[in-house]
């Protein structure tokens, strides 16, 4: 079934199709439409789930942890300060190996108050153990949420599906609604709380066992990298839409690649077309899967990384990841912070002027 | 007196509580009242440690350990999943996790009438981390962060909880296990949020001989430092030991003297606080009596 939907509505619709049992959420701009849409599904009985109207984001994720720990499928959504307020519980969900799925609508962090798109909120949760995906279209938001439940429940790690605030969360695009059928099987959490087999989860654990738990999380991230490919393959066979850890555009013969995430990386594709007309062999790579971080097809190419984020004192976070995983020089463009408009003409212009290495702040340098 | 309390044990030997820990005494009777169809949610507190170290557990029911500020919300998450219908979801949280850092999630859960029993075992300080002041620490008590005795008054969590109008709340004491057992059973028979506040004397923190936990718990009630009551549908009912204590309270010195934490306390000021507390609870109980009389005359 085709319909028109916003990114937020797409996330809510995917949650409805995923047999989620417990939703706990606190509203925050620009995420609010997700929780409002789900509330309306639940109250009009289009969706059979418990909806907990919590008093804070910390409690939203805590409630999801409680539900998930008892074996139920859980969902929450947040943004920016809400995500940061969850931070303790974000660690807890991953450490407890609970396959919760969360939509994060990327938004800048105050001060100063700014409600527009930026990736620093979710990227600052990089080291918590969550799987992280960055969508760039309404359809992709929907499909990624569906696939996330499969993946999260396969490797027992929570999954964050991120989308740019307003640019995608409020953009209306065509959406193909999928009947997932048995694509997402009934949930089965092996370590769910069981009154017939009482155990204590999360109690005091000495050094050696704690160390093993942490290693298991690391291994599960690596396993996710393999599992996700097979889930994407099955998804493509069933529903005809193909996804991978990255989305490459005109890279076959490219000697210059622009790497980015989210909607800015889609804008870069238009910049590639413009540069190709001028004779530059340009291509772009959109990183969809940020955790676990994939290998990129960039060896031997001039690499320009667009970061809608910054790790102060180090530079763009995506650029740092690429420098760590690949032995290539990186020209890092920090752009789009706080929702700064980044047009394809601007990206093309920056690529024309790009040096092999260095850092450039759009609108400042 | 304890004949009708089940012999089944869900708190095992080998738990790692301190000698004389009355929080474990309280938990033992709570679990006897709740039975095996129970899930415990435990924020960071003494009870986290008392379970023993992974891979063992001294609790005979499943436990979800959770971060400090999250217990009531996590319990609501469990209770909200349709698959857990009919199970007893019990938060067992210390006074720190309840009165201070956990109060927001607790407030939210009661407001939503989450179907949980929240038990606050109150040892009147952050005992697990070595006895620092909590919101529940009484005036004059020495803790490691009030080394010359607390200068201000404790937070009255019960009044705050009452303002939320929960379905059922009660005050209890580890020194009155049968009373606690009955209150837990009653609470678990009610749908919605229930709150039980249990005073649990702490020998290592309060600095008294380990065998005196029950004796001191009883003295707290007898001198009016702690009350036993139930609060249902807006009505407060005093239990017998507190009724007796309000008529003729035991001397405060009897309670204060055996405890190292009250060394050097201004007993007159403490007595004044105790008197004020007794006056408040008496008024609240009488208010109900007045209401009843009014209803009767109409």
- The per-residue pLDDT for range B178-224, each reduced to its tens digit, is 999 999 999 999 999 999 999 999 999 999 999 999 999 999 999 99
Q: Which two tokens stand for residue B238?
A: 């005093």
B104 touches chain A (CB under 8 A): yes
Distance from C-alpha of A278 to C-alpha of A272, rounded to nearest angstrom: 10
Strands (E), B21-112: 38-43, 63-66, 88-94
Residue B80 in contact with partner chain A when CB distance is under 8 A: yes
pLDDT mean across residues, chain A: 98
pLDDT in tens, A154-211: 999 999 999 999 999 999 999 999 999 999 999 999 999 999 999 999 999 999 999 9
CA distance B27 to chain A (A): 15
List chain A domain ranges. Answer: 2-239, 246-361
For the cut 90, the answer to whether the pLDDT of residue A111 exceeds it is yes
A2-239 — its CATH code? 3.40.50.970
* Record: contact B66-A65, CB cut-off 8 A: yes
Q: Is A63 on the interface with B (CB under 8 A)?
A: yes
What is the full DSSP assignment across A296-325? -S-TTSEEEEEES--BTTTB-HHHHHHHHH
- A&B contacts, CB < 8 Å: 163
What is the rounded distance in angstroms from the CA atom of residue A276 to the CA atom of residue B189?
Answer: 73
Check residue B97 and report its DSSP letter: I
- Across the interface, whether the CB atoms of B39 and A195 are under 8 A apart is answered yes
Confidence of residue B20 (pLDDT cuts 50, 70, 90): very high
* pLDDT value of position B4: 85
User: What number is the average pLDDT over the span B253-271?
Assistant: 97
- B288 by Cβ neighbours in 10 Å (0-12 / 13-18 / 19+) ranks as middle
Question: Which chain B residues touch A67 with a CB distance below 8 Å?
Answer: 77-78, 80-81
Please choose, from the candidates B173, B170, B172, B169, the residue with its C-alpha nearest in 3D space to the C-alpha of residue B192.
Answer: B169
**Pairwise CB contact (< 8 Å): B80 & A52:** yes
ipTM: 0.96
Chain B neighbors of A58, CB-CB under 8 A:
69-70, 73, 104-105
The residue among B12, B31, B58, B74 with the most chain A CBs within 10 A of its CB, best to mutate, is B74
- Rounded CA gap, B113 and B125, in Å? 28
Contact A89 B67 (CB under 8 A): yes
Predicted local confidence at residue B293, as pLDDT: 67
Q: Alpha-carbon distance B237 to B194, whole Å? A: 16
| A109 touching B (Cβ < 8 Å) | no
Q: Measured between CA atoms, how close is A289 to chain B, in angstroms? A: 29
Residue with tokens 């350990």: B65
H/E stretch holding A353 reads helix A344-353
B112, with CB counted inside 10 A (0-12, 13-18, 19+), is buried
E strand or H helix at A120, and its extent? helix A120-123
| CATH annotation of A246-361 | 3.40.50.920
pLDDT number for residue B286: 84
- In this predicted structure, the answer to whether residue A22 has a pLDDT above a threshold of 70 is yes
Answer whether A2-239 and A246-361 agree in fold: yes
Opening angle at CA A269, ends A262 and A340, nearest 5: 50
| Calpha distance A298→A300 (Å, rounded) | 6
Which of B37, B43, B80, B103 has the most A C-beta neighbours within 10 Å, making it the best mutation to test the interface with A?
B80
Instruction: Please say if the pLDDT value at position B296 is more than 70.
Output: no
């Amino acid at each position: 079934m085709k319909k028109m939907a916003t990114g937020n509505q797409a996330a809510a619709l995917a949650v409805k199709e995923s047999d989620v049992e417990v939703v706990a959420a606190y509203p925050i701009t620009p995420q609010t439409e997700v929780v409002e849409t789900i509330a309306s599904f639940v109250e009009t009985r289009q969706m059979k789930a418990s909806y907990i109207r919590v008093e804070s984001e910390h409690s939203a994720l805590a409630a999801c942890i409680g539900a998930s720990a008892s074996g139920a499928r859980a969902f929450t959504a947040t943004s920016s300060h809400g995500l940061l307020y969850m931070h303790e519980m974000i660690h807890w969900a991953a450490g407890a190996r609970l396959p919760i799925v969360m939509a994060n609508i990327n938004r800048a962090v105050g001060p100063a108050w700014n409600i527009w798109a930026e990736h620093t909120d979710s990227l600052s949760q990089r080291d918590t153990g969550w799987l992280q995906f960055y969508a760039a279209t309404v359809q992709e938001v929907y499909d990624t949420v569906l696939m996330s439940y499969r993946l999260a429940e396969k490797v027992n790690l929570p999954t964050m599906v991120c989308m740019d605030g307003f640019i995608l969360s409020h953009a209306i695009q065509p959406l193909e609604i999928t009947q997932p059928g048995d694509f997402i099987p009934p949930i089965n959490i092996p370590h769910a709380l069981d009154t017939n087999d009482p155990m204590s989860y999360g109690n005091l654990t000495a050094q050696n066992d704690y160390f093993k738990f942490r290693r298991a999380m690391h291994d599960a991230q690596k396993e996710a990298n393999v599992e996700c490919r097979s889930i994407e393959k099955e998804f493509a066979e069933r529903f005809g839409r193909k996804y991978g850890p990255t989305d490459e555009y005109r890279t076959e013969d490219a000697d210059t690649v622009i790497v980015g995430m989210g909607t800015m990386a889609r804008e870069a594709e238009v910049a590639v077309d413009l540069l190709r007309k001028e004779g530059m062999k340009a291509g772009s790579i959109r990183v969809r899967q940020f955790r676990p971080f994939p290998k990129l097809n960039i060896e031997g190419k001039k690499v320009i990384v667009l970061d809608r984020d910054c790790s102060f004192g180090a530079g763009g976070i995506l650029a740092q990841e690429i420098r760590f995983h690949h032995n290539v020089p990186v020209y890092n463009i920090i752009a789009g912070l706080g929702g700064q408009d980044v047009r394809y003409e601007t990206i093309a212009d920056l690529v024309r002027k790009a040096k092999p290495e260095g850092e450039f702040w759009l609108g400042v340098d | 007196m304890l004949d009708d309390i089940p012999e089944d044990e869900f708190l095992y030997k080998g738990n790692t509580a301190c000698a004389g820990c009355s929080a474990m005494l309280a938990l033992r009777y709570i679990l006897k009242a709740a039975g095996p169809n129970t899930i415990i949610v435990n924020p960071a507190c003494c009870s986290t440690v008392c379970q023993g170290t992974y891979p063992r557990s001294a609790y005979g029911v499943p436990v979800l350990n959770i971060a400090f500020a999250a217990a009531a919300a996590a319990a609501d998450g469990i209770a909200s999943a349709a698959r857990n219908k009919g199970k007893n979801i019990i938060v067992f949280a210390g006074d720190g996790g309840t009165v201070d850092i956990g109060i927001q999630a607790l407030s939210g859960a009661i407001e939503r009438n989450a179907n949980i029993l929240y038990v606050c075992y109150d040892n009147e300080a952050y005992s697990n981390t070595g006895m620092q002041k909590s919101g529940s620490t009484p005036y004059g008590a020495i803790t490691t962060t009030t080394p010359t005795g607390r200068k201000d008054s404790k937070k009255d969590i019960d009044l705050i909880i009452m303002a939320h109008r929960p379905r059922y709340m009660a005050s209890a004491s580890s020194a009155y296990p049968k009373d606690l057992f009955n209150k837990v059973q009653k609470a678990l028979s009610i749908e919605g949020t229930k709150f039980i506040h249990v005073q649990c004397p702490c020998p290592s923190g309060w600095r008294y001989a380990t065998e005196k936990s029950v004796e001191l718990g009883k003295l707290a009630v007898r001198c009016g430092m702690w009350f036993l009551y139930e609060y249902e549908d807006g009505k407060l009912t005093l239990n017998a030991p507190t009724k007796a204590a309000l008529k003729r309270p035991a001397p405060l010195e009897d309670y204060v003297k055996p405890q190292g934490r009250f060394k050097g306390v201004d007993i007159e000021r403490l007595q004044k606080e105790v008197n004020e507390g007794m006056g408040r609870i008496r008024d609240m109980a009488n208010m109900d009596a007045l209401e009843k009389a009014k209803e009767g005359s109409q």
